[in-house]
Amino acid sequence: MRSVTPLTGGPPAEVQLPYAPLARVIAQARFAPILAIRNPDKVASFQEAIRGTYPVLQEERTNQIVIGPLGLPASPREEVIWRFGDREKQPLWRVSLSADFVALETSAYASRADFLDRFQHVVQALEQPFKPAQCQRLGIRYIDRMKGQAISRIIDLIRPKILGIALPNEEQPLSLGGAVLHMMTEVALAAQEGQITARWGSLPDNATYDPNALEPIAEPSWILDLDMFTTSPVAFESEVLASTAKAFAERIYAVFREMVTDEFLRFYGGNP
């Protein structure tokens, strides 16, 4: 029996999962707009600091609708996002930099320590040449996607209180759970360090609820998406942000462990 609670106190001991179903992990720090980041010449120093790990650069331009003073849309404004990947096609690691945020994301998560070290390095690369005054919002997001055999064993892997109507009912074999094609639950949780938006449920094949973070796949899946953030400004210092990100990751892990069973840990190669 664990002596910790999921939303306060220290995290449970981490159980390594060699076959963890993590689809994507994302860390993002937002700051007041720095117009110089739109200039390729100004971004060169940032690129040099991370180029050894993320050598492939792509420039992405998007149009943003700006709302005018009367509540009416003004002319679209073009924004540039610099994407730095570890390889040309389908990068496993990617850094994104725009005028008001920097983010690190991966589909090849190895460990919490490795991810947080990489995030701190990215923040340092931005901190030195651009010196943002504050981080206005810091967020960490873990998205697990179960598929294949895990779907047929979902009642063994996820705690009953989380499954809800998807839990089979022996007394009512024709219950709603047997007819679920798409079900996503979303809750906002107040944790010790900030707020967590938790989403979970089943998706049919070729479907997604967030195309920017989770690509559709050609088979049904079950999703557990935990996104922790705070909107209280903090100093934009790499050590401060890395420490906060670590606390967020540990809190997310505590909530994750509250939602999955020990059989989940064993199913993905862990030893609880």
DSSP assignment of 34-84, as one string?
A: -GGGGSHHHHHHHHHHHTTT--EEEEEEEEEPPB-TTS-B---EEEEEEEE
List the one residue out of 96, 92, 112 whose CA is nearest residue 104: 96
Residues near 144 by beta carbon (within 8 Å), at least 6 away in sequence = 20, 21, 22, 23, 223, 224, 225, 256
Q: Does residue 90 have a pLDDT over 50?
A: yes
Residue 219: give the domain boundaries: 22-267
Per-residue pLDDT, averaged over 35-51, amounts to 95
Asked whether residue 259 is assigned to any structural domain, the reply reads: yes
Asked whether residue 10 is assigned to any structural domain, the reply reads: no
Asked whether residue 12 is assigned to any structural domain, the reply reads: no
pLDDT classification of 180: cutoffs 50, 70, 90: low
Q: Does residue 244 have a pLDDT over 80?
A: yes
Residues near 3 by beta carbon (within 8 Å), at least 6 away in sequence = none
Q: Where are the alpha helices (DSSP H) in the chain?
A: 40-50, 112-130, 149-152, 154-157, 160-163, 238-259, 262-267
- SS3 label, residue 222: strand
Per-residue pLDDT, averaged over 98-102, amounts to 96
Instruction: Name which residue leads in pLDDT, 66 or 190.
Output: 190
* CA-CA-CA-CA torsion sign (106, 265, 271, 250): positive
Which range among 113-117, 133-137, 179-183 shows the weakest confidence by mean pLDDT?
179-183
pLDDT recorded at residue 3: 47
pLDDT recorded at residue 175: 61
Per-residue pLDDT, averaged over 170-185, amounts to 65
Per-residue pLDDT, averaged over 217-226, amounts to 96
Asked whether residue 262 is assigned to any structural domain, the reply reads: yes
**Exposed / middle / buried, residue 195 (Cβ in 10 Å: 0-12, 13-18, 19+):** middle
pLDDT recorded at residue 10: 87
Asked whether residue 5 is assigned to any structural domain, the reply reads: no
Asked whether residue 16 is assigned to any structural domain, the reply reads: no
Provide the whole-model pTM.
0.90
pLDDT classification of 79: cutoffs 50, 70, 90: confident
Which range among 13-27, 157-171, 180-194, 219-233 shows the weakest confidence by mean pLDDT?
157-171
Asked whether residue 2 is assigned to any structural domain, the reply reads: no
Asked whether residue 6 is assigned to any structural domain, the reply reads: no
Question: Number of folded domains in the chain?
Answer: 1
Per-residue pLDDT, averaged over 203-228, amounts to 95
